[in-house]
Amino acid sequence: MKIERIDLYWVKLPLIYPWRTAYGEDWDIHSALVRLEAEEGLYGWGETTPLYAPTYSPEHTPGVFYTLRDHFVPRILGQEISSESDLLDRLAVFKGNQFAKAGLEVAWWVLDAKRQGLPLHRALGGKRDRVPVGADYGVQDSLDMLLAKIQGAIDQGYARVKLKFRPGWDLNMLDAVRSTFPNFTFHIDCNSGYTLRDADLFKRVDRYRLAMIEQPLQAGDLVDHAELQKMIETPVCLDESIRSLHDAQVALRIGSCRVVNIKMGRVGGLGVAKAIHDLCAEHGVPCWVGGMLESALGGSICLALATLENFTYPADIFPSRYFYRQDLCAPETVLSGPGEMTASPAPGVPSEPVPELLEQRTVQHVSFRA
Ligand code: MG
């Protein structure tokens, strides 16, 4: 398909409640949207959401917007692109910048699925439609507030709850949670807030019988995580350290983790996400789909990915109203049953930006025609 037009949007989405983690606090989610249009007027939307500041990873939304605009779009616009790997090959000279690459790559998948008349999850090879999803709580104003929210999640049928974990919101928080909910499935996400010098803290975490400890040590590290995994019983799950298929290969070879969180943005798109999923399946390592508080557009793309069969742990894909008063996109993402979402049979993905809301939430927009 020849790419006739590309539109880039940097958008700002106000949250209902601030998102607090080991790396800081966000009151708005900044996301980059990519619209690819092919010759027949056929188009596909993609989304990539690295946050406003480079705190989760070295990438950030303003940087992604400029990288796409100045470097990536000129290599794709007006070109006949035969596949998503053809698209990535044209960007191969550029190092890193996975979130920026994912913006274009994901839009390509959606566009190509629509061209084939297939829902994205079928184009990706997903055989099921329904996906279990979890609830996720950042650092709250108080423990009582957290416990009330967890009870709410259990009442809505979520099968697991993820808790952000950082110095000052750590073992005391787990004590309160575990004593209130003795048998429910929890895991913690440390967002790379610790080092191997904190190994004793994680040995003490073993007693809380968590499903996993997500990214305890520094982003990008594989070696110290392998050391830590030998010292503790709770499975280590890697998030920020898995940025490519190669990272996943090394992690599995040296035993850095027993679970992998896969985010399409962090690894450079759906093709790499699928390759990491397949590699983990071959090694008997379970995966789950992580999220970056995307709009319903990105959420429905994550949902399509999560239909692959080795995504066995509930995903971080949320109903729109969980984080936002009003989603930028329609239809909104919703639960289709207790703790469950269902991928749509519509070609591509069902959600797209609502034009008036897109205008209101846009920080910058640029449009290119071949
Ligand atoms: Mg994480």
Residue partners of 40: CB distance under 8 A and separation at least 6: none
CATH of the domain at 80: 3.30.390.10
Q: How confident is the model at residue 199 (pLDDT cuts 50, 70, 90)?
A: very high
Instruction: Give the confidence band of 20 by pLDDT, cuts at 50, 70, 90.
Output: confident
Domain count, the chain: 2
235 CA distance to ligand 1 middle (Å): 14
The verdict on residue 347 lying in a domain is: no
pLDDT of 118 over the 90 cut: yes
Q: Cα of 168 to ligand 1 centre, how many Å?
A: 18
Q: Is the dihedral of CA 287, 284, 310, 282 positive or negative?
A: positive
Residues annotated catalytic, as ranges:
164, 263
- Calpha distance 292→239 (Å, rounded): 12
Confidence at 19, pLDDT banded by 50, 70, 90: confident
* Residue 41: pLDDT over 90: no
Assess if residue 263 is contained within a domain. Answer: yes
| Averaged pLDDT, 134-142 | 93
pLDDT score at 149: 96
Do 62 and 8 lie in one domain? The reply is yes
- Do 15 and 158 lie in one domain? The reply is no
| Contact by Cβ (8 Å): 113, 123 | yes
136 plus 163 within the same structural domain = yes
Whether 39 has a pLDDT exceeding 90, the answer reads no
Residues 93, 175, single domain; the answer is no
247 and 334 both lie in a single domain: yes
Mean pLDDT, the chain, integer: 96
* Same domain? 312 vs 191: yes
Q: How remote is the CA of residue 290 from the centroid of ligand 1, in Å? A: 7
Quote the ligand 1 centre to 232 CA distance (angstroms).
19
Flag whether pLDDT at 165 surpasses 90: yes
CA distance 73 to 115: 21
Mean pLDDT, residues 306-335 = 96
Q: What pLDDT digit, counting tens, does each position of 70-93 carry?
A: 999 999 999 999 999 999 999 999
Percent of the chain with pLDDT over 90: 96
> C-alpha distances in angstroms, 364 versus 10, 28, 264, 352, 360?
5, 15, 23, 18, 11
Query: Ligand 1 centroid vs 66 CA: distance in angstroms?
Result: 25
Residues 110, 126 within the same domain: no
Do residues 94 and 63 lie in contact, with contact meaning Cβ atoms separated by under 8 Å? no
Quick one: 99 and 194 in the same domain? no
State whether 217 and 361 are in the same domain: no
Give the mean model confidence (pLDDT) for residues 209-220.
98
pTM reported for the whole predicted model: 0.96
Confidence of residue 37 (pLDDT cuts 50, 70, 90): very high
Which residues are within 5 Å of ligand 1 (an ion), measured at CB? 189, 214, 239
- Measured in Å, residue 129 CA sits from the centre of ligand 1 at 25
Together in a domain, 7 and 60 = yes
Confidence of residue 175 (pLDDT cuts 50, 70, 90): very high
Q: How far is the CA of 16 from the centre of ligand 1 (A)?
A: 20
Helix axes 98-116, 296-305, angle to 10 degrees: 80
Residue 40 has pLDDT above 80, yes or no: no
Full residue range of the structural domain in which residue 48 is found? 3-117+352-369
- Over residues 46-71, the pLDDT tens digits come to 999 999 999 999 999 999 999 999 99
Question: Domain of 185: which CATH number?
Answer: 3.20.20.120
Task: Say yes or no: 111 and 126 in one domain.
Answer: no
Q: Are 286 and 313 in contact (CB under 8 A)?
A: yes
